[in-house]
Amino acid sequence: MNVLALGGCGDMGRMAVAILLESLKISSVTIADKDYELAKTIIEMIGSDKLSAFEIDVNDSEKLFDLIASHDIMMNTVGPFYKFAKMILEACIKAKKPYIDICDDWKPTLDLLDMDKKAKTAGITAIIGIGASPGITNLLAVFACSKFEEVDELITAWGFSEGKEGKKPRYYVTGKMLKKKLGLPPEKANAAVEHLLFETLEKIPTFKDGKTIEIDALTEAEPLQFPGFKDTYVCHIGHPETVTLHRTIKAKTISLVMFLGETATDLTREYRQKILDKNLTISEAAIALDRDFKNLIKRARRGQAPLKEYIGMPPSLCVIATGTKDGKRKKVAIALGRNPYDEMAGLTGVPLAIATIMMIEGKIKTKGVLTTEESIDPIEFFDKLAVYCGKNLTSKEILIEREVDL
């Protein structure tokens, strides 16, 4: 199988490519990116005969179609997804090639799901949102809710938290390695921080009492109460979980919250307001907020910031479900207790690669546009993820599971 890694120069793309290169099922991987010189540099640093580079601007629809048509499967990490996801999936449908992405924007998620009939007609499988959040959180949610006869409430959550990591994959080129090779690049916006700020500018969906409603982003929620960890300050943020999970999980209420600590959350609110007041662009605010985040974390680690905010927080990806089990009211909380290497790159890029390989192996056969929870078995996935979280681990060793009576 030959795989097209569209946007493969980015952090998540490089990690996914590194995992794909380990698979005997994959004969070649094309790193296709707007920055052709960077793609060639990464390939040179990896040194694998399976790799090739291709220069592509995804706005060139004819060139994009030809590129997709020449591969067996397309893996998309090109952001922002609100701008590019729909047009890229349309090209895959036209070329009749399987598609998989890490889309973490709720609006384009709905747009992609609306293309289900077209994908079925083309006879292709398209899996959307298989990263950290959405992705890992969705599968944690499915696993937690499978414990109940009836689910009342489901909370999915992500945030700042340090955990044990697996070792660096053999073919992964880290950001530090690139900086050492190329020198410090001009300061630019961190894509994840830019995305975070973008999500705060409009109302966001949440699922409450059996229906989708809109609320203000960064609205404070009840503290996250994961058994065995401290009650943690959280607020609502706009990710796709709240618009997809109710399709498969019959819960009355489904929310997505983030925990950055009150200090970092207040900083985010301040920069959101600067954007709304047109004092800063999103990119300018993202650069400044990213710098403030990093300084805050450094100070916290040195005991110079309000360190107590970050002590005892739950793992960075977790879910809490409440409902009825064996006729009793219970709470089930499940978290990813160990992570792949390199924080968000690993938590997003590794799941993407695992799902891509599962598609290639024929383990996902349903046609159409599918969310993570509709297409992937949680335990099989977490067993595969465990390989990248530490030596000789299985899903049982990387998941933290707590159950309490209510």
In this prediction, residue 190 carries a pLDDT of 81
Structure tokens at 404: 């309490």
Q: Does 1.10.357 match the CATH number of domain 136-337?
A: no
DSSP 23: -
Rounded distance between C-alpha atoms, residue 201 and residue 36, angstroms: 33
| Listed residue (55, 60, 20, 58) closest to 39, CA to CA | 55
| Predicted pLDDT at 305 | 66
Q: Which CATH class is domain 2-132+341-392?
A: alpha beta
- Measured in degrees and rounded to the nearest 5, phi and psi for residue 206 equal -145, 160
**Whole-structure pTM value:** 0.96
Specify whether the CB–CB gap between 107 and 82 falls below 8 A.
yes
Residue 339: strand pairing partners: 165
Cis peptide bond prior to 185, omega within 30° of 0: no
Domain ranges of the chain: 2-132+341-392, 136-337
The pLDDT assigned to 189 comes to 74
Per-residue pLDDT of the chain (406 residues; tens, 9 = 90+): 999 999 999 999 999 999 999 999 999 999 999 999 999 999 999 999 999 999 999 999 999 999 999 999 999 999 889 999 999 999 999 999 999 999 999 999 999 999 999 999 999 999 999 999 999 999 999 999 999 999 999 999 999 887 899 999 999 999 999 989 998 666 677 888 999 999 999 999 999 999 999 999 999 999 999 999 999 999 999 999 999 999 999 999 999 999 999 999 999 999 999 999 999 999 999 999 999 998 887 777 777 666 677 888 999 999 999 999 999 999 999 999 999 999 999 999 999 999 999 999 999 999 999 999 999 999 999 999 999 999 999 999 999 999 999 9
Q: Which of 138, 116, 20, 119 is nearest to 77 (CA)?
A: 20
